[in-house]
Amino acid sequence: MEKKIKNGIIAVWKPKGPTSFDMIYKLRGLTGIKRIGHAGTLDPLARGVLVVGIGREAT
């Protein structure tokens, strides 16, 4: 059974290369959820945890 996250905060690993917005764009495509945003920008050369808010309550 598959559940879809409607609201919440998740941590996403951002590898070196893509921008923070690239990661959000990919998540939007994978989930079909348009209301997704990140809590802070990581440099494209940086890798690390990107805090992502999903849904109206978290963005």
Decide if 43 is catalytic: yes
Question: Which of 43, 46, 48, 57 is the catalytic position?
Answer: 43
Judge whether 7 and 31 are in contact, CB under 8 Å: no
Partnered with residue 52 across adjacent β-strands are: 10, 38
Closest by CA to 57, choosing from 3, 9, 2, 17, is: 9
Catalytic residue numbers read: 43
